[in-house]
Amino acid sequence: MSLFFIVALPFFGALLPGLMNSAGRAATAGVTFTVSLAAFLGLLTNLPSVLAGEVVVARVDWMPLLGLNFSLMLDGLGFFFALLILGIGLLIIAYARHYLSRDDNMGQFFTYLLLFQGAMVGIVLSDNILLLLVFWELTSLSSFLLIGYWKHLPEGRQGARMALTVTGMGGLAMIGGMLILGQIVGSYDLSVILQQRDLIQADPMYVPALILILLGCFTKSAQFPFHFWLPHAMAAPTPVSAYLHSATMVKAGIFLMARMWPVLSGTPEWVMIVTSAGLITMVLGAVIGLFKHDLKALLAFSTVSHLGLITMLLGTGTAFGAMAAMFHILNHATFKAALFMSAGIIDHEAHTRDIRRLGGLRKLMPVTFVIASLAALSMAGIPLLNGFLSKEMMLEEAHHTVLFDTPWLVPGLATFGALFSAAYCFRLIGHVFFGPVRDDYPAKPHDPGAGLWLPPAILVSLVVLIGVAPFVAEPFVKLVTASVLGTAAEVPDAHFKIWHGFTPALYMSIIATIGGLVVLALFKPALRLWDAAPRPEAKVIFDAIVAAAVGLARKLILPLHNGAFTRYAAIGSVVIVAVGYHAWTTGTVAPQTRDMLPAGPVPIAGWLMLVVATIGLVFMHRNRFLSLILIGIVGLMVSVGFVFFSAPDLAMTQFTVEVVTIILLLLALNFLPNQTPIESSALRRARDIGVAVIGGLAAFGLSYHFMLRDAVATPISEFHLANSYKGGGGTNVVNVILVDFRGFDTYGEIIVLGIAALLIYALTETLLDGPVRARLLNRKPTHRRAGDEHPMMMVVLTRGIMPVVLMVGFYIFLRGHNDPGGGFIAGLIVSIAVVMQYMASGFGWASARLKYPYHGVIGAGVLIAGLTGIGAWFFGKPFLTSAFTYVRIPPFYKFELATAALFDLGVFLAVVGAVMLSLESFSRLARQATSGPSNEHPMDIDPSRDEDPQETSEKEAV
């Protein structure tokens, strides 16, 4: 299966759980499981290539000029992490189906889960660091939704905010580091960057890039001092915790350190920073975890500790350390997911996770006891389980690692961390499952059905299988290690086996195991000392830092950012003028090369009308209706100016925009007072006048200067004129720019236009449901209304004009690629025709004949335009690259077919939908104001009930 489909499946599949939610819990979980299974099987189809040492690649140019390409690669490392993400994801989905209660919105949960899964798969398969950054931030956002899924819990909301804050800030730092790395190499493709070790490490920006990238890795993988967010994320549902802690979120930082290992590791800076952070995190997480009474909190800190262990191994910079890290990632994923699911089973059945309220569950929950005990013993590093093998390799590597010129520092701290790790594992088993059966459990504990215990049992079977037969995992781990190192030749010739003889690592392991039992025996006095000892609380520190940052931001921003647009405009204008004046006075002004052109009486008259209208608008702007008339005059004179300067496209666009805008604003004025109240003091008005005059004079001076001098550089218009026909297939340069050269801008503009129309609709919906509705019903017009709301002459005229205007709009649309016109202008022309129907026959008559909602018209336009752009990807072209050809169908002349026409169709539909949705919104307000209380939606009107305006007036006369 193509890598594109593997990445895309979870994202597209995220649409399905919500749709299937009403079909039942089993259907929702089933469709989610099917989507993940399809991606998992698709990944496995690439296994033969990966085992053969090949790198599977897939690439589509997205924004090549920015270095952003949708390029994916699958090597041993990517396959390993994708296998964990999708494989454990399948078990999590099956587990969650039986864990979540009937009160939980399962469709929403699985939607978030698939989005998160897709983002994680995107990270591990990305071959472009900019694309990787996109997926990286998507994991932060989707994990925020998952951690805060139980929105009714304050700790869930706080944990989600904390995770997003810490990982988001780390992601921002990592963006800087990745951009530096791309600039050093001259490419943003990982496959290129990973071949430039010497170039990167010799560059003076290596250290800043390293620090910034490690900040992103450390925050995501909860390394000291950013470890505190991960335990607070345990407020999420247990399936989320199991997924985050074993195979996804926290492994993202580990993955990136492994991915960048060939080019960033091996330097003193790497060894010092990464090894130190890993050691501190390993020890700190193990010590804190021992004294946690919440079962999930204990496991959360154990994750922090083991992530520190993996980070320390990667920090050593040796091939053996990298291999041990990869092996422990595999082992940790199996036993940690099983442990979290076991904790969820206990919480689900006993209704508590407090270890102090548990005990004796060995007899009440024998299946859960076996699963959790085997997983915990593996985490403690007990022989014949997989955790023992990778722990021995870790201790072996620690024994040979020297940090800060101190040979005993790393092995001593590693042993100390392993000791406390064994202690909290023994506590989990002893205090939860052993001891007498209690009679005060919140609920009677018992083993659940297979739906809950089977997924962790599958993982525990892997724990035992790898533990007793490590040779099963050895080839795969070495394959992954070869991908990390960059070459298979560097993979250590070490064999995975249970007995290596009497080695320092064995002695360190024995000390850790026996020491863990001793600490457990002394747990009660140790707990009293721990509770009595003063220690900083990370959450308190975090809250204090956030509060200080918010306070500082308020002091800096609120004096300037007070919500007054006039202040923003004044500050911005003054700064722009000041900077421009500095550039003018310190720069070199070229001599004048052009003479003034003579001005005839017609241009002068037009200019005077424009100036008079503008000045009149300044002095009479408080009269809203008069202001609207003057604005219309200004717009029409601008249209005339475009005609004078031979810009028919712009003139047509400006004219149609003016007509539509004036109509919509007239409708809006119907609900506003006639006069704008005076809100600014005389001093503020004087300030605004001064700023406006200075800004206007500066703009005039700059324009006057450039019009009298030739351009220093070649204008871009020459490129467009030269390439419009041969590159875009059209002779109308303006239209080719809009739908081809700058099609991405146009696509963004129609999206913004549609959003604006939807916001107007949402605003009117809110007004109609709120206190404003009562004001509309009680409102009395200031002027007498016309007696005939729908003049017969206008009704007859618009009915005849409608097909003519539609034909004109269709003609303008078709000719746009070669002559003045296009989708935007055609959309405005058709909108005017439809608006006339509303004006002539009324809102009810027009709405009753509406077959398609305007929301759908907007969506269809954006969708058609987007799909047209995406179609270019299938031909290896950048997004929105148009194609054209010429065909001849007898007896017609040869004519052009261009994909730009489809894009223009999307623009056309988006414009029509946006204008008409805005009109419909205002019309609904007007209808409420005139017809009295009514909850009848215009779309619910029965066309058969509608009466002709003439018939209505005759009945009223009778």
Question: What would the two tokens of residue 493 be?
Answer: 């010739």
Instruction: Report helix, strand and coil shares of the chain as percent, to nearest 5.
Output: 75, 5, 25
Assign 3-class secondary structure to 305-372.
HHHHHHHHHHHCCCHHHHHHHHHHHHHHHHHHHHHHHHHHHHHHHHCCCEHHHCCCHHHHCHHHHHHH
Same domain? 735 vs 658: no
Please tell me what DSSP assigns to residue 589: P
Condensed to tens digits (0 to 9), the pLDDT of residues 241-267 reads 899 888 778 889 999 999 999 999 989
Domain-located, residue 245: no
Q: Which carries the bigger pLDDT value, residue 136 or residue 659?
A: 136
Question: For the segment 99-146, what is each residue's pLDDT rounded down to a tens digit?
Answer: 988 888 888 999 999 999 999 999 999 999 999 999 999 999 999 999
- Residue 501, Cβ density class (10 Å: 0-12 exposed, 13-18 middle, ≥19 buried): exposed
Asked whether 869 and 879 are in contact (CB, 8 A), the reply is yes
Domain edge (last residue) among 659, 675, 691: 675
Residues 317 and 444 in one domain: yes
**How far is residue 434's CA from residue 761's CA, in Å, rounded to a whole number?**
63
Q: Quote the pLDDT of residue 771.
A: 66
CA 947 to chain centre: 50
C-beta contacts of 281-285 below 8 A and 24+ residues apart: 281/222, 281/223, 281/224, 281/227, 281/305, 281/307, 281/308, 281/311, 282/306, 282/308, 282/309, 282/312, 282/413, 282/414, 282/417, 283/308, 283/413, 283/416, 283/417, 283/420, 284/224, 284/227, 284/308, 285/227
Express each pLDDT in 312-367 by its tens digit: 999 998 899 999 999 999 999 999 999 999 999 999 899 898 999 998 899 899 99
Q: Per the domain annotation, does 300 fall within a domain?
A: yes
Q: Helix or strand or coil: residue 197?
A: helix
Confidence of residue 210 (pLDDT cuts 50, 70, 90): very high
Q: Classify strands 56-63 and 68-74 as parallel, antiparallel or unpaired.
A: antiparallel
Q: Is residue 791 in some structural domain?
A: yes
H or E stretch covering 895: strand 895-898
**Residue 743 or 421, more confident:** 421
Q: CA 169 to CA 541: how far, in whole Å?
A: 16
Q: Which of 833, 955, 854, 843 is nearest to 913 (CA)?
A: 854
Is there a contact between 230 and 167 (Cβ–Cβ < 8 Å)? no
pLDDT reported for residue 136: 93
Bridge partners of 623? 675
pLDDT of residue 110: 92
The boundaries of the domain holding residue 633 are: 622-675
Spatial distance between the Cα atoms of 881 and 870, rounded to a whole number of angstroms = 9
Positions of E strands within 47-176: 56-63, 68-74
Dihedrals phi, psi of 460, to nearest 5 degrees: -65, -30
pLDDT bucket at 184, cuts 50 / 70 / 90? very high
Q: Is residue 334 part of a domain?
A: yes
Q: Are residues 891 and 772 in the same domain?
A: yes
Any idea which residue has 């004079």 for tokens? 697
Backbone φ, ψ for residue 588 (5° rounding):
-110, 125
Which residue, of 531, 558, 585, is where some domain finishes? 558
Q: List Cα–Cα distances, 956 to 794, 948, 950, 952, 953, in angstroms.
A: 20, 12, 10, 6, 5
Alpha carbon separation from 422 to 287, 381, 500, 512, 514 (Å, rounded): 11, 7, 21, 7, 9
Number of domains, the chain: 3
The whole-number average pLDDT for the span 857-886 is 82
What is the CA angle 8-12-17, rounded to 5? 140
Per-residue pLDDT reduced to its tens digit, 76-109: 999 999 999 999 999 999 999 999 888 888 889 9
Instruction: Give the C-alpha separation, 136 to 220, whole Å.
Output: 9
Considering the domain boundaries, does residue 285 fall inside one? yes
* Residue 414 near residue 508 (C-beta atoms within 8 A): yes
667 and 743 both lie in a single domain: no
Token pair listed for 890: 């007898």
Residue 809 pLDDT greater than 70, yes or no: yes
* Whole-structure pTM value: 0.72
3-state secondary structure of 948: coil
pLDDT in tens, 524-566: 999 999 888 887 777 788 888 888 988 898 888 887 777 777 7
Measured between alpha carbons, how far is 720 from 736 in angstroms, rounded to an integer? 9
pLDDT at 374: 95
Indicate the DSSP class of residue 945. G
Q: In whole angstroms, give the CA distance from residue 77 to residue 83.
A: 10
pLDDT at 772: 61
Question: Running DSSP on this structure, what letter comes out for residue 151?
Answer: T
Tell me what pLDDT residue 94 has: 93
Least confident window among 592-606, 635-649, 830-844 = 830-844
Greater confidence (751 vs 845) lies with 751
What is the distance between the terminal CA atoms of the chain, rounded to a whole angstrom?
75
663, 738: one domain? no
- Per-residue pLDDT tens over the stretch 727-741: 777 888 888 888 888
- 634 shares its domain with 762: no
Are 332 and 310 within 8 A, CB to CB? yes
User: Does residue 104 form part of some domain?
Assistant: no
Cα 617 → chain centroid: 44
Cα 816 to Cα 125, 552, 658, 721, 913, distances in angstroms = 42, 54, 20, 16, 20
Residue 291 has what pLDDT? 92
Residues 648 and 737 reside in one and the same domain: no
Q: How far is CA 239 from CA 89, 92, 254, 302, 339, in A?
A: 10, 6, 21, 17, 11
Per-residue pLDDT band at 61 (split at 50, 70, 90): confident
Higher-confidence residue: 691 or 930? 691
865 and 903 in contact (C-beta within 8 Å)?
yes
CA gap 321, 491 in Å, rounded: 11
Report the mean per-residue pLDDT for the chain.
85
Verify that 736 and 845 share a domain, yes or no: yes
* Confidence band for 784, pLDDT divided at 50, 70 and 90: low
Co-location of 359 and 459 in the same domain: yes
User: Which residues touch 841 (CB under 8 Å, ≥6 apart)?
Assistant: 790, 795, 798, 949
Rounded-to-integer distance, Cα 725 and Cα 718, Å: 13
Q: Do 499 and 627 share a domain, yes or no?
A: no
Quick check: is 704 in a domain?
Answer: no
Query: Do 506 and 655 share a domain, yes or no?
Result: no
* Cα 587 to Cα 591: distance, rounded to the nearest angstrom: 13
Are residues 769 and 670 part of one domain? no
CA dihedral 373, 376, 377, 378 (to 10 degrees): 120
For residue 867, being part of any structural domain is answered with yes
The predicted structure's pLDDT at residue 680: 76
The beta-strand segments (E) located in 175-263 are: none
Contact 727, 817 (CB under 8 A): no
Q: Which two tokens stand for residue 33?
A: 């499981």
Distance of CA 246 to the CA centre of its chain: 23
And the tokens for 582? 């500095």
Per-residue pLDDT, 652: 86
